[in-house]
Structure 1
Amino acid sequence: MVSKRFYLKGNIQAEPLVNNWYAWSMLISPATNAMITTKQHHRILESYTANPEIHASSAQKKSLKGGLFVENANELEPEFIKDFLEQDKQNRAEIVALSQAIDDLQKLIQEEAKGMSLESLYERIPEPLQGMVELNYDLNNYPSFRLIEPLFYMNPKFYDKSLQSINLCHLNSDDRPFILSSPRFEGDNTVNLQIPFDSPLYEKLFASKQHGLSLEEVEEILSHAPNRATKAELFYSFFSEKPSYVTTEANTIQDDTIRVRYFGHATILIESQHCSILSDPIISYDITNGPDRLSYKDLPDVIDYVVLTHNHQDHILFETMLQLRHKVKYWVVPPSASGTLQDPSIKLMLTQLGFKNIIELSEFETVTINSDSRIVGVPFFGEHGDLNIQSKLAYFIEVQGHKLMCTADSRNLSPKLYENVRTYLGPIDTLFIGMECKGAPLSWVYGPLYSGSLRRKMDQDRRLNGSDCDSAWHITQCLEPSAIYIYAMGAEPWLSFVSSIAYTTSSEPIIESDKLIARCEEKQLEARRLYGTEVISLGNSRKK
């Protein structure tokens, strides 16, 4: 007798959480977690408990999405949030102290380090950071410090895996609270599983969409629900008796063709008979309303390489990555500026979260796939507010002689760069370029990491901008693609909880990308702005 199998449904949302906040990369790294917890999360919740009506009112205004207010305010009782906040400050006193210590260290070196030896300052480093940082100067005698990042993960006071969990629920629309400002709690329609992100149970759970789970395996996963007795019926409703998807010819390449499929935003799947490469994966769930889309069921059984361009929440999304981990062979990531607060190591982070086979690729280094396929790291300028952040990389991808480049949110700050890229890599066939040319203010991502407040003029001047028409056109002229696709615009509705973007015809990125399309068409180049889903024909390749 064949035992019953349980298959996770394709519309079950799985939100990873750290201490009841959506788990994005800056909440994984312990030092940045401390700064964001005290300078953003606590302040948002203090504001909410003082004026819940303002938060509820703001949540109704679509134009304010992405602002620092509790978007799911109508679901939360102020007294509950007040208690949660007070307990969090008490239970995570070490994190509060770490945040203060980083601020105090910044102040110490700015006031005391004037170009002379730093040795005498080591004994004055705040206690939580003793033995965890190295003091240094740059060649202009500006002082700074280097975090010994692995030590922070090794300290359970700073990196507490027991705070990691996942919320499961049925998802019927793309409308979700914004991730940076709205805490998540277990509700009537949600099951919270307190499973650390490095657990192999995630592979079992998400592979079950196709392969199923035994009753014993379902019960093992359910045992991690704090409210197991009252949540069992709801949890079992997340499963079906039939697979959510099966392998079909549509998901495999049968001949020597190369297929490129667009899954939304910066997610491009490049497939040949011999390899598959996926960029910046953010995959939609199976939702029947809204625009057409590809979802998890449209992915191949095995993904050879996932390439990650940079450490922003709309390009590294653990919600998707945890669901793909069981089928990905290699993860390709850029290296960081080792030990800087604003640039935590992606490789170290993924390793701590249980990801395997991580390739840290530097600029112009190559991952050789086979004799006619490779991945090359390409410099990525811009979109990071002029901060010293090195964990950003565009990718030159060659598959069977066809040359593509995924530039994500690169901005052409130094036109000579792409002339150098052309000299080294030659012309390309297909260019994917982001044109979110009016990005968020610097403080939107990095504000909590500053020891003081950013001046508004500085904050606005150093926005996280991608390419405008002139910038993108120069890249096009240098690289000579025959097809240009504008992507990474954050426009799809299943991205709104991450990007908070809602374009109109008068939005600057739309105007600038329309101008680029018109300019390309004048030169008889194929060009269009991608949205939703698309299968792209690569045309004729430039053979070596």
Structure 2
Amino acid sequence: MSATYRLSEHTCIEPLVNQWMAWWLTLAPIPACLNAYNFQLPLLKAYLQNPAFHEKSEREINGGSFVGVPASRAAEVRALLQRTQSAQEAGLKLAEAFEEFQAFLLTEAKGQSLEPLYQKLPEPLRGLVELVYDYNNRASIQVLEPLSYKSRYYQPQLQTLQLGALESDFDRRTFFTTPRLTQERQIEWRVPFADARVDRLFELERTPQPLGHIQELLGDAVPSEELLRSLLTEAPAPAEPEPWTGPGARVRYVGHACVLVEWKGTSILIDPVIGVRPRAGGEARLSYENLPARIDYALVTHAHADHYNPETLLRLRRRIDCLVVPRARGMLVGDVSLKLMSTMMGYKRVVDMEMFDSLPLPDGEIVAIPFLGEHGDLSHAKSAYLIRMGQEQILFAADSTNLDDTLYRNIRQAVGEIQTVFMNTENEGSPLTFTIEALFPKRRDRRAEKNRRCRGSNASEGVRLLEILGARRLYNYAMGLEPWLSHIVGPESPPDSPRMKESNTLLSEARTRGLEVAQQLRGTSELRISTEPRS
């Protein structure tokens, strides 16, 4: 009997768009054009002026715009720059036209009819946008997003999967600023993300196949049999996780904002971002083989890469029955439809929820809950989620900021007491334009933006939220403490950092006020929550 192989638990598979990590700002067609024009090309050009400086700075400075590519590979970066200018020429022209016409609107549109301005639309924008005012007569360009995916600006031929063994969590370079050049021990598979062959690849996690079958699947992407074998294993797959049938709900913290809730045979995965196990070991984690074979619902709170993560979403696509995302309104070019994007990535069932929409569970439901903050006052789609199981209600508040106590009083009135709250603490937050500078006009009053941060609740805001909702249990999560997310969220905050001090203050205040549980989550843990009514 010939040997069969499956994917090694150490194999990391990164989805790329023209060598950059796939996320909403490289996938949504018009934002991707703006990102290439205003961010990627200038960054590559800056790198080529001083490669050694970028290489050193990317490792030493968290949050800077530095390319973490060794100076010895500068020629490959130059080739990427030239390839981008050629392959995305039409998109770069669109981005330039978008920026220039938006500036034109701001000076020319003062409340009069916008109809004559359609004749002045640059050719790249024609048929893809609507010119609109708000009620204060401020004009803007509204993208007709579904059409953009059917235009020449959506280029699935630039999509690839890069397969390689992960040696250490800290080998992964910065998510946003470092393009993925192919390493010596990696396979570059050119395949559109929506292709059914992608599911066949990830079925290899549990279903071993002969080596010839795998070679045929990957085709010309495999440079050698020896390299392919290094990403596979002959070891049998771990036993399939048993569905939870015990009393109450089993809640498994997977890391950062990712939580698995199991209740009466139904599994719900919140903000799916899963860490691969590196060969060198590291912190214990729940990885792909520890998740249920079927995930009934995967809930995404917002589009940030530590919550909506194509790497994980593609790997779990065949397992997730229904992907749930917040509903976009599309008034801003960056308020992209995650439903449309996920469908274009091959998802068959995607539901975008408006606030207080609900989905049924056995003796329960999933409810979309309003979510303030985190986007620096920009109207980008977002939602917290309430999971009701019997008499128990759990709120996954993600990066919510309690900017208005009355909102939570209204939520309490609408849904009743919420006994358990998962919430982030983030009193500082990243700058408004962190990762999305490409969407802003170059000429603007930046002084007014300095205090606009993408933050969650501080301790006092969090305590008020808990009191208003009637919470008895607090789990402080999404704190960026897991090493397998450091390439996205940066290194772990030290204990004496303002953020961690604020977290400690929140936990202390919660305990003082008599909460049964006030716990900061890190790594992995398993929680049991009773769903029986209290006497």
TM-score bin (small chain):
over 0.9
Q: Look up the match of 1:480.
A: 470
State the shift of 1:4 in Å. 3.9
2:164 to 148, 161, 169: 169
Q: Look up the match of 2:239.
A: 246
Is 1:7 matched with 2:6? Answer: yes
Q: Look up the match of 1:324.
A: 316
User: Partners of 1:150 and 1:224 in 2: how far apart?
Assistant: 33
1:139-158 CA deviation, whole Å, 9 max, x = no partner? 11111221111111101x20
Is 1:110 matched with 2:106? Answer: yes
For the 8 Å contact 1:135–1:144, the answer to whether it is kept is yes
For the 8 Å contact 1:195–1:224, the answer to whether it is kept is no
State the shift of 1:395 in Å. 0.2
User: Partners of 1:310 and 1:491 in 2: how far apart?
Assistant: 19
2:247 to 240, 244, 256: 256
1:423-478 CA deviation, whole Å, 9 max, x = no partner? 00101121000112221111112211012255553343111011100111111011
2:67 to 67, 70, 81: 70
Q: Look up the match of 2:422.
A: 432
1:50-71 CA deviation, whole Å, 9 max, x = no partner? 111211221341xx12311012
Aligned length: 532
Is 1:140 matched with 2:136? Answer: yes
User: Partners of 1:381 and 1:60 in 2: how far apart?
Assistant: 33
3-state SS in 2 of match to 1:6: strand
Q: Look up the match of 2:286.
A: 294
Is 1:211 matched with 2:200? Answer: no
3-state SS in 1 of match to 2:160: strand
For the 8 Å contact 2:495–2:501, the answer to whether it is kept is yes
Residue identity in the other structure for 1:235: L
- The structure-2 alpha-carbon separation of the partners of 1:458 and 1:492, relative to structure 1 and needing over 3 Å to count, comes to farther
For the 8 Å contact 1:258–1:538, the answer to whether it is kept is yes
User: Partners of 2:216 and 2:443 in 1: how far apart?
Assistant: 47
State the shift of 1:401 in Å. 2.9
Uncovered stretches (5+) of structure 2, i.e. residues with no partner:
none
User: Partners of 1:542 and 1:421 in 2: how far apart?
Assistant: 21
Is 1:406 matched with 2:396? Answer: yes
State the shift of 1:340 in Å. 2.5
TM-score when normalising by structure 2: 0.96
Overall identity of the aligned pairs, in %: 34
User: Partners of 1:503 and 1:188 in 2: how far apart?
Assistant: 33
Is 1:312 matched with 2:304? Answer: yes
State the shift of 1:215 in Å. 4.0
- The structure-2 alpha-carbon separation of the partners of 1:464 and 1:453, relative to structure 1 and needing over 3 Å to count, comes to farther
User: Partners of 2:290 and 2:450 in 1: how far apart?
Assistant: 40
State the shift of 1:489 in Å. 1.1
Q: Look up the match of 1:94.
A: 90
For the 8 Å contact 2:23–2:309, the answer to whether it is kept is yes
For the 8 Å contact 1:210–1:246, the answer to whether it is kept is no
Residue identity in the other structure for 1:164: Q
Of stretches 427-436 and 281-290 in structure 1, the one that deviates more from structure 2 is: 281-290
User: Partners of 2:300 and 2:59 in 1: how far apart?
Assistant: 34
For the 8 Å contact 2:300–2:325, the answer to whether it is kept is yes
TM-score when normalising by structure 1: 0.94
Q: Residues 103-502 of structure 1 correspond to what in structure 2 (within 5 A)?
A: 103-155=99-151, 157-175=152-170, 176-225=172-221, 228=222, 230-248=223-241, 251-287=242-278, 289-338=281-330, 340-370=332-362, 372-389=363-380, 391-453=381-443, 455-502=445-492
Residue identity in the other structure for 1:533: T
Residue identity in the other structure for 1:458: A
Q: Look up the match of 2:58.
A: 59
Uncovered stretches (5+) of structure 1, i.e. residues with no partner:
none
For the 8 Å contact 1:10–1:244, the answer to whether it is kept is no
1:118-157 CA deviation, whole Å, 9 max, x = no partner? 11100101110011111111111111221111111101x2
Q: Look up the match of 1:83.
A: 79
User: Partners of 2:299 and 2:115 in 1: how far apart?
Assistant: 41
User: Partners of 1:5 and 1:454 in 2: how far apart?
Assistant: 59
Give the aligned CA root-mean-square deviation in angstroms. Answer: 1.7
User: Partners of 2:209 and 2:65 in 1: how far apart?
Assistant: 40
Residue identity in the other structure for 1:496: S
User: Partners of 1:453 and 1:191 in 2: how far apart?
Assistant: 42
User: Partners of 2:497 and 2:305 in 1: how far apart?
Assistant: 22
- The structure-2 alpha-carbon separation of the partners of 1:540 and 1:523, relative to structure 1 and needing over 3 Å to count, comes to farther
Residue identity in the other structure for 1:65: N
- The structure-2 alpha-carbon separation of the partners of 1:58 and 1:109, relative to structure 1 and needing over 3 Å to count, comes to same
1:509-538 CA deviation, whole Å, 9 max, x = no partner? 111110011111112211011001111122
1:511 to 473, 482, 501: 501
Q: Look up the match of 2:523.
A: 532
For the 8 Å contact 1:409–1:467, the answer to whether it is kept is yes
State the shift of 1:506 in Å. 2.2
Residue identity in the other structure for 1:190: Q
State the shift of 1:262 in Å. 0.4
For the 8 Å contact 1:209–1:245, the answer to whether it is kept is no
For the 8 Å contact 2:405–2:465, the answer to whether it is kept is yes
User: Partners of 1:59 and 1:130 in 2: how far apart?
Assistant: 40
User: Partners of 1:457 and 1:112 in 2: how far apart?
Assistant: 24
Residue identity in the other structure for 1:511: K
